[in-house]
Amino acid sequence: MTSQVTKLSPVNLAVIELDCADCTYQTIIITLSQPGVLISPDVLPTLDLPSNLDLSREVILFGQAPIWLYCYLLDQCRKAPWIGCYNAPMGKVVIVYSTSPQFRIGDTLTPQFKEQPGIAILIGGPPDSGKSLLSNAIRGAISQHYPTCRIFLHRANWDGQGNWTYESPDSTLTEDLVQGFDAKLHWHPEAANLVPQYFQEQAGFVENLRRVRDLLLVDVGGVPQPEKQPVVDACSHYFVISSDPIAIDSWHKLCSPNLPCLAVMHSEPDVKPDLLALSPILELKLGLRAIAETGTLPDLLLTAISPILNRTT
């Protein structure tokens, strides 16, 4: 139970007791007051630990926040006997600092979550159709229209892209970094074994993330290969966005046996949003340039997501 919240814009810190298998542990919940909005390090001079935090006890840091904020909190909590950080994809607390015989650095704890799993929307479509762009735009729009919705965008592929690629002001540097971090796992000599293992691992990440988020967006890359089936099975719904109408059916074949389709989007660089069909599946035409420049989505697309969000928030 939370006993006190320290309200500091744009970062809120609260102390709770986190249930694990054998005990409850003192935990700082990190909440960004404006989800999806970048925060600046200039918040640090005015950021204090909650007054009810007991540094004679353990401290677990829990929440989505920049690495520099985690580093700051680790330093501020260094008097604690041990400190752990919750890793959502692993679904575990990792001990990162300890002067206690109870735990060693690298030990893990597994929290007990009793809530129903959150919604997980798989976003599929061929390469260069706008999946990453759409995923990031949905993340921002949901954060704006549903501020209490705990949303997370998970990139279940190895192409080097992330939310940072759309938040960076330096597009040239961004492209260089994306290319540099593209692991090309499918070119590895052991790809036949590594690729299925990779997507099996990603499926586990999706399941763990659904335990701590209301809405999870899952970008699985541009090829509807059967090795991705574990990730599909770990999701609850799917979108298709495609610049090639012929490629849409292959995504339906991968996803539709198990998941309901929320919408199909035909993407082009420069077109106005247009409704193509309302049933049996919502079908839209989307202009990628407009989404990139404004970050906004057609109202009908948000409407397609709203019913499932209303069940989780």
> 199 pLDDT exceeds 70?
yes
pLDDT at 19 over 90: no
The Cβ of residue 33 has, within 10 Å, a number of other Cβ atoms equal to 13
For residue 29, the cross-strand partners are 14, 62
CATH H-level, domain 119-309: superfamily: P-loop containing nucleotide triphosphate hydrolases (3.40.50.300)
- Residue 280 CB partners (closer than 8 Å, separation 6+): none
Q: Domain coordinates of the chain in residue numbers? A: 5-109, 119-309
- Mean pLDDT, rounded, for 47-56: 94
Q: What's the pLDDT tens digit per position in 221-237?
A: 899 999 999 999 999 99
- Rg from Cα positions in the chain: 21
pTM beyond 0.85, yes or no: no
